[in-house]
Each structure stands twice: as C-alpha cells, then as structure tokens.
C-alpha cells in the first residue's frame, strides 16, 4: 500500500486487472470510505470552508486521492472533477465526478450518516453512479446501462406515488431561510409532503429514494458530485429526476414518478 502523508493507507491495484465501469466505481467508493473511516478513527483536524457546517478534513483529501489514483490507473483517458480540487482534463468524452466524503459535518461530528460517492458521465447520456456507506458496508451502483442494485441485490422498480402521501428528503443551510427566493419554494415543497427528513448526506438520501424509503429528494444549487451519483441510482431504479429554475436558483429533484412532478410544481409556485 502507498500512503498519503505518513499514516494513511491507500490501496494499490495492478492496472492489468480489468474492471467494468460499475465494478471500478464500486471499488473506488468502497476504498475511499475505508480510507476516510481509518483517518476519522485516528483523529482529525477540521477546517471551515464557507460556513460552520461546510467543513473539510484530511480524510476528505486522502479519500479523494484514493479515488483519483485508482481512476488514473484504470481509466487514464477519463476526466475527473473532485469536490476537494482534483481536476483531470479528459482525453475522451467521459468524466468522473468525485465526492470523497458526502456528509462531512456528520463525519466530523461522530454521526455514521455519511458516504463516498462517484458518478461517471459520457456520450449519448451515459451515466453511472456508485455510493458506499462505510458504517453499514452497503454499496449502491446503478446507471443508464446498469439496473440499480445494493450489493448483489437488485432494487425493486419505483412505483408511482403522491408527494402528499410520502416523505421528502431535503437540505437547506439555515442562513438561506432568510432569503425569500430560497425559503419560499422550500416552504411550498416541504408543506406538500406528509413528512420530511433532513439528515445531511444528499447521496445517502438519494440511495434511500432509489430504494423507495423516501418519495422525493430535493435540494438547490447542487454541484455534479452531489447530484449525479444519486441521479444515476434513482433513474436506474425507475424513478424520475428534474432540474427546475425558481427565482434564479436551480432546484434538483428526484424520486417516484408522479411525486417528482408534484414537487416541481410546488417549487415553481403552482
């Protein structure tokens, strides 16, 4: 194993091993989660990014390095865009979006509701996502050419549903509640659901949506690494996804057929 710094184990894999995209994505997130968990158990220094709840640690960077190193060995021509600054220009039409630790505030606070996630986008609307939750050992993979699964178990296709009968998973930083252009759409969509959950890891929320545990997920202003892994899972489980602009902000919505359209209408003021 190689190391980041002097203590962080980074697994190495021979480039001669052939992985398909789904296998490689699952391997990348599993090992990133292992690296991050190891470092959390060893103690962390936490830095603020944009707010007290938007933080980064050595574990985020080491986990991202684990993913990018693996991808560069096995998909040398693919582009990479990482939350913690990794940027590799593509030599083809494929690009990976990397979220080494999604739910970092949970991660540094001792909660186990965090994950590692990647997505691969390519030509002809090709999309693949993988999400790994180290606390439970669960790994979800799905995409435009792969039916959604948790481990080796296929997910049941999502049945249509009504937002008013289901749970809305979402997130909004408290300071945004003072901005009417964000707070008002948020109020409308949240009041349209039977109940609401705000747990702090969008990719884990979207994996739960793909499994049918929540009806809809929505959040505004999502970067690729927060949106594409879960979008791939939900769509490959038979769900719907949408991006709608409301008052200058993009809202990202995914979930059961029917419930997504209702959420979009509420966000837009219908």
Q: 242-247: which pairs have CB atoms within 8 A and are 24 or more residues apart?
A: 244/268, 246/181, 246/185, 247/181, 247/182, 247/184, 247/185
- Distance CA(61)–CA(253), nearest Å, equals 28
Q: What distance in Å separates the CA atoms of residue 3 and residue 181, rounded to the nearest whole number?
A: 46
For the annotated binding site for Mg(2+), the residues are 83, 99, 102, 226
Query: Residue positions in the annotated binding site?
Result: 83, 99, 102, 226
């Amino acid at each position: 194993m190689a190391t980041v710094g002097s203590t962080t184990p980074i697994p190495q894999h021979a480039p001669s091993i052939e992985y398909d995209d789904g296998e490689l994505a699952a391997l990348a997130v599993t090992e990133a989660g292992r690296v991050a968990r190891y470092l959390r158990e060893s103690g962390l220094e936490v830095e603020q990014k944009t707010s007290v709840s938007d933080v980064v640690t050595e574990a985020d960077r080491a986990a991202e390095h684990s993913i990018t190193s693996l991808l560069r060995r096995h998909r040398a021509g693919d582009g990479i865009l990482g939350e913690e600054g990794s940027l590799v220009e593509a030599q083809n039409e494929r690009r990976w979006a990397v979220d080494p630790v999604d739910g970092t505030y949970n991660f540094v606070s001792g909660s186990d509701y965090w994950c590692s996630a990647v997505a691969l986008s390519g030509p002809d609307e090709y999309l693949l996502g993988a999400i790994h939750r180290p606390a439970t050992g669960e790994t979800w993979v799905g995409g435009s050419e792969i039916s959604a699964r948790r481990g080796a178990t296929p997910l049941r296709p999502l049945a249509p549903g009504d937002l008013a009968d289901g749970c809305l998973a979402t997130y909004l930083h408290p300071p945004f509640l003072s901005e009417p252009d964000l707070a008002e759409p948020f109020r409308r969509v949240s009041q349209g659901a039977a109940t609401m959950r705000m747990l702090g890891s969008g990719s884990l929320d979207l994996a739960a949506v793909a499994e049918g545990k929540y009806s809809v997920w929505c959040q505004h202003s999502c970067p690729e690494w927060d949106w594409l892994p879960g979008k791939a899972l939900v769509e490959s489980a038979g769900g719907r996804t949408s991006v709608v602009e409301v008052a200058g902000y993009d809202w990202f919505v995914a979930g059961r057929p029917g419930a997504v359209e209702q959420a979009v209408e509420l966000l837009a003021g219908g």
